[in-house]
A and B are shown apart, each in its own frame.
Chain A
Amino acid sequence: MQPAGPSEQITNLFGDYLQQTDGSQPGRHDELSFDGSTRAHWQHLLEEFSALGREALTARSEEVQSLLHENGVTFNPYEDDPGQLRSWRLDCLPCVINMEEWAHLEAGLQQRSRLLALLLDDLYGERNVINEGLLPPELVYTHPGFLFSAADSPSQLARPLLIFHGTDVIRDQQGQWQVLGDWTQSPSGVGYALENRITLARALPGIYRDAPLKRLAGFLQAQHRCLAGLSNSRREQPNIVLLTPGPGSPGYFEHAWLANYMNFPLVEGDDLVVREGQVSVRTLGGLDQVDVILRHINDPWCDPLELRPDSLLGVPGLMQAARNGEVHIANALGAGVLEHPALAAFLPELSRRLLGENLILPCRDAVWCGDADSLVKVKHTLDEWVLRDITKPGKLFHVDQMGLEAVQLLRHDLDARPHLFTCHKAIYASATPGFNPQTKQIERQQTTLRFFSLVEPEDIKLPVPEQRYRVMPGGLSWVGQPGTPLMKSRVVKDIWVLADSPQPHISMLRQAHGPILVTRDGKDLPCRVAESLFWLGRYGERLDIRARLLRESLGKLLIEDTQHGSTTLLSDLMTALGVAPDPEELPELLALISPNQRYSREYILARDRMMTLLSDNDPQALPTIFSHFVRNSRAVRDHLGDDSWRAINNLRQRCGAMSRAKGVVAGQRLLESVVIDLAAFFGLCNETMPHHYGWRFLDIGRFIERLLGTLELLKLALLSAKIPGIPLWEVVLATTDNFTVYRRRFRSQLHPSAILDLLLFDETNPRSIGYMFKRLQRQVSRLPSQGSSSYRNLENRLIIQATSALHLVDIDMLANLEHSEEAREALNNLLDELIEPMTALSNAISHSHFSHVEPPRQLVTMNVSPGLEEPRSDQKQTATGGKQ
């Protein structure tokens, strides 16, 4: 850490930072500078960034942001509305840790993991720490993370293991590392850490490629070995699944990312079932046994039989399966007790007693109010403290910022239940440099760092005291005062752990796992995923049809005579779009509109009605359809390629901008882009998704929707329109993207018979009904079938029924549509004969292939008194909204 003099370039970019002393906190430890000079381990990085210069760094920052955006790196703080997804800014400047410091940190983190693992083993075993008075019983037993049902007799087979461990650390103003807290259920952030590293390496290849910094990819490979090592399965490839609360949970992006990276099926509680004591995934091919569950659901929500009875996220019978060793859960259920904030006050002594070592990394000073002396002290100086209620993780009471009444209430609670409170004093972190692309300045920030440790894969079957841990040489860091939760931070940073020489680049690509790849997407596809893909196809196609129809309608609006001309076309278009006013209300509605010189009342009404389809809160509007589309896409996040996801992100921008579109032309332009983005999305799906069952369900959903949409459109244009005429037929052809084809083929004016030929019967035209039937038949016949009946199933019969109706129609009967009432009736009958089986097909597929899981019910309903436990994870929405 020898200070070095600043070079000229460095002065340009970092000059202000180095010269200005830290006004707010004089004497505060600074990660970058020391007595106005640069710390040695920053020198190299400083030169690299300075050589880049201020402007280039700003440009790179923007690139980083767009890469994050394209990859959909978002988290969802519980809002279901996709517009509410937040993403953070990733700073180009990492936190840098030199080798010396890392050696200290690594040893401290490993020790902490070993200590917590021993404590966990004891708490769910002999409980010596309680019996010998090291930990007060009321500290342990009141924490929602202590699971009585995981603490059977000490002789139980499956003791809970601490496999992964996340630790939040800061460096204080004096330069000392301090631990803020632990994550022991399902530490989140590994996925973000890797994604950040990948993103920065793409945006700053020159700096990252040759930097002597430790690589991260090996850690996830070790994690994979750990999980595989847990399994007792005799199968060659243990079946490991990642259990998520679902797309509504804040960490869903990471769950999907990890599932994808590690090649684990991403499952929700509904996908799993315990039968014959074993845990299985409900898949298209039946039940598929699970050996290991990497869970991202918090303890109390995992099993409604033995834990919270009101949980809809969990799997009934899961604890029993784990108890019998039929399935292994990482981290084990019950590990949440280690997240107890009051443990900090007891760890130094526990370390001496359990490990025989002094704690290497000190914990932030914490006081447990259950201790009578501490309580007196805290109550005397209450407004100097930040209090936490241990039953409400994440909730902080900043006494100095609370009103008089709230403080009174808190004092009352503190007297009544002192053992439920811990407190600490606000602390400040050292200054870390960060680049602010807005001001283009390097600024001083406070950061919290999260590190991750893992049992050495080779030690996974050893007794707990012999297990060693490895620490990921890097992690995730975020900006904010110590105590700011990760999810509330606006800016995240990479953590560089320096090595003495450039490290071999371990490919981050998914193929890097080589031998551990197992194929999926076959019959082992979870039913829920198949269902979401089906609806993704349907909503995507619905969005496409509506966007095209609206685009054409707005086009007609622009060329329509605004004062006199036929308003009939507009009225037919409103009917097609489903926004036609009730004829009885029409006069009243028109009376409300004040016409002007340029526009007639009818015209204004039609325009306003059409534009409502771009608004946010109309149930028929395009943004609403998009929100259904995106909800289903998030549920299958791990099945879509990165590029498809970029297309979705583009769509999100367009659909988000719709309600702000000013005027018809702007709306038309947005719709144009939506059509192109959707084509890109489906094209990419066709190109990149394996043509297994998952893709087939997507395709089936899409073509059922397209069939129904096209048939309805034909019915309107040829039969029920007020004036079926050329302008309307043009819209039909343009909506189905057949205008050019028509002109090239018929070189004539539009004629209904020719339209029918092109759109109904021509099986070479991908937009024709005939083609769509053929495609559906091929897809449906290749779906997995239950049993081996030689009879055709309902789905196939329905397609045959519809196809036959089309093939058997007497073409001559349909001629002369414009003048013959008989022909019109014949066409009407035909279209009905096609629509009806397709509607039934959708239901039949849903019935045969999708799981219809009812929420589990309790035999005994107990109204447990409220307030003892607060949900930490979100309660799953029971409605499967968006699936019609």
Chain B
Amino acid sequence: MIYRIRHLTRYDYSGPATLSHNEARMLPRELSWQQCLDYEFTISPAPIRLRERIDFFGNRVAYFSTEAVHRSLEVVVTSQVQTSSRPALDIFSTICWEDAVSDVATALRTGNRDCIDARLFILESPFIRHQLSLAQYAEDCFSSGRDLRDALMSLNERIYDEFTYDPDVTTTATPVLEVLATKRGVCQDFAHLMIACIRALGLPARYVSGYMETLPPPGQEKLLGADATHAWVAAFIPGWGWLELDPTNGSLADERYIVLGWGRDYADVTPLKGVMTGGGEHELTVAVDVVPVSDSDHQLI
């Protein structure tokens, strides 16, 4: 699939801001199943400096600073992204979950590079602390000897079934335990919760930030969490790789999911953050459009 994406983030300040330094993680990442065909990055007021780099996790980061006195900051990224199917699950993705735990735990001895790399994503991170109650919540899905993939998908569905999508209840940083107690939240909260459960069992899981296609296929229900940035989970299957699951929709990520980047949690992949002088209170507007482009349209461009 080819998608045309427009992602607008706008901050309106109550007072004048004089200087701001920002970091945007809003450029789609290059992956074997995802290519960024072209993109345009528009910042207003025009930045004095704009520098792109690749961060620790391999994400594209744009640093920019604005020095003119300004009352609003608008960042628009329009991009054209081609996606194809993610690697299919195969014989190598079959592993009992306890074996997976032990594969990762013994990685230093066995020297398995992928497992060593993945261990970072078992650790606690700024938003996700290890909690006993999370392991207990996941226990039902991770019955003894169960295949890891099945267990993960069952946890994914359980969160989808038991939790209510409610954009009004959470701020950017709802503690995971609170989400577990209220059973309400947005995609970010469900992703954090699911990651916390997986990590509590001793397995690596990371936070994926991105978009998904908004238009529902004919005859199907419209998917939730679509008109904004989206977040989901990637869990590590030793010997195979990272399996992307979306607890907000109870599904696996497919061609309709466009990846911006990943990290330990939201703090590592915040789409736009900044520090400014002045500005007073601010109001945030985010608008995302993900529009599929037919091949013929693409030819015309």
A binding-site residues for B, Cβ under 8 Å: 130-133, 136-138, 141-142, 148-149, 151-153, 156, 273-277, 304-306, 309, 316-317, 320, 323-324, 416-417, 419, 853-854, 856-865, 867-868
B86 at the interface (CB under 8 A from A): no
User: B150: CB under 8 A from chain A?
Assistant: no
User: Which of A156, A305, A324, A859 has most B Cβ within 10 Å?
Assistant: A859
A316, B21: Cβ atoms under 8 Å?
Answer: yes
Give A130's nearest chain B residue, CB to CB. Answer: B116
Nearest A-chain residue to B129, judged by Cβ: A865
Is there contact, CB below 8 Å, between A131 and B116? yes
List, in ascending order, chain A residues with CB within 8 A of B275's CB. 304-305, 309, 316-317, 856-859
Contact with A along B58-74 (1 / 0, CB 8 A): 10000101010000010
A859 x B173 contact (CB < 8 A): no
The answer to whether B277 touches A856 (Cβ under 8 A) is yes
Note all chain B residues with C-beta closer than 8 A to A853: 277
Minimum CB distance partner of A864 in chain B: B126
Interface of A: prevailing SS: loop
**B223 within 8 Å of A (CB atoms):** no
B49 within 8 A of A: yes
For window 109-135 of B, CB contacts with A under 8 Å fall at 109, 111, 113, 116-117, 119-120, 122-124, 126-130
Complex: A868 Cα to B20 Cα, angstroms? 27
Question: How many B residues are at the interface, by size bracket?
Answer: 35 or more
A860 touches B56 (CB 8 A): no
Cβ–Cβ < 8 Å partners of A136 in chain B:
108, 119
18 contacts between A and B (CB under 8 A): A131-B113, A131-B116, A136-B119, A153-B53, A153-B58, A305-B23, A309-B275, A316-B21, A316-B275, A317-B65, A320-B51, A416-B130, A857-B276, A859-B73, A860-B273, A862-B172, A862-B267, A865-B128
Given contacts A305-B273, A856-B277, A858-B275, contact A868 B108 (CB under 8 A): no
Interface residue? B268 (CB, 8 A): yes
Whether A854 and B274, one on each chain, are in contact in the complex, defined by CB atoms closer than 8 angstroms, is no
Do A859 and B276 touch (CB < 8 A)? Answer: yes
Interface SS of B by simple majority:
mixed
B94 interfacial by beta-carbon distance below 8 Å: no
Question: Given known contacts A133-B116, A151-B56, is B21 in contact with A320 (CB within 8 Å)?
Answer: yes
Q: Is B270 an interface residue (CB 8 A)?
A: yes
Q: How far is the CA of A729 from the CA of B128 in the complex (A)?
A: 73
**Is A275 touching B67 in the complex (CB atoms < 8 A)?**
yes
Question: Is the Cβ of B56 less than 8 Å from the Cβ of A868?
Answer: no
**What is the bound-complex CA distance between A305 and B273, given in angstroms?**
8
Q: Digitize B20-36: 1 where CB-to-A-CB distance is under 8 Å, 0 elsewhere.
A: 11110000000000000
Chain B nearest CB, measured from A242 CB (Å) = 23
Q: Give Cα distance in the complex from A29 to B21, angstroms.
A: 57
Query: Is B242 in contact with chain A by the CB < 8 A criterion?
Result: no
CB-based contact A152/B54 at 8 Å: yes
Q: How far is the CB of B3 from chain A (nearest CB, A)?
A: 26
With A136-B108, A859-B274, A864-B126 already in contact, the answer to whether A274 and B54 are too (CB < 8 A) is no
In the bound complex, what is the Cα–Cα distance between A465 and B248 (angstroms)?
A: 50
- Report the minimal beta-carbon distance from A482 to chain B, rounded to whole angstroms: 31
CB closest residue in chain A, given B176 = A865
A863 touches B19 (CB 8 A): no
CB–CB A864/B173 < 8 A? yes
- How many whole Å from A723's CB to the nearest CB in chain B? 54
Mark contacts of B240-284 with chain A using CB atoms, 8 A cut-off: 1 yes-contact digit, 0 otherwise: 000000000000000000000000001110101111111100100
Q: Which residue of A lies closest to B17 (CB)?
A: A857
Q: Contacts A153-B54, A274-B21, A860-B272: A141 and B120 contacting too (C-beta < 8 A)? A: yes
> Is there an interface contact between A324 and B51, defined as CB atoms closer than 8 Å?
yes
- Judge if B175 is at the interface, Cβ distance under 8 Å: yes
Given contacts A141-B120, A141-B123, A306-B23, contact A277 B273 (CB under 8 A): no
Known contacts A130-B116, A277-B49, A857-B279; 7 additional CB pairs below 8 A are A133-B111, A137-B119, A153-B55, A276-B49, A316-B275, A859-B274, A864-B126
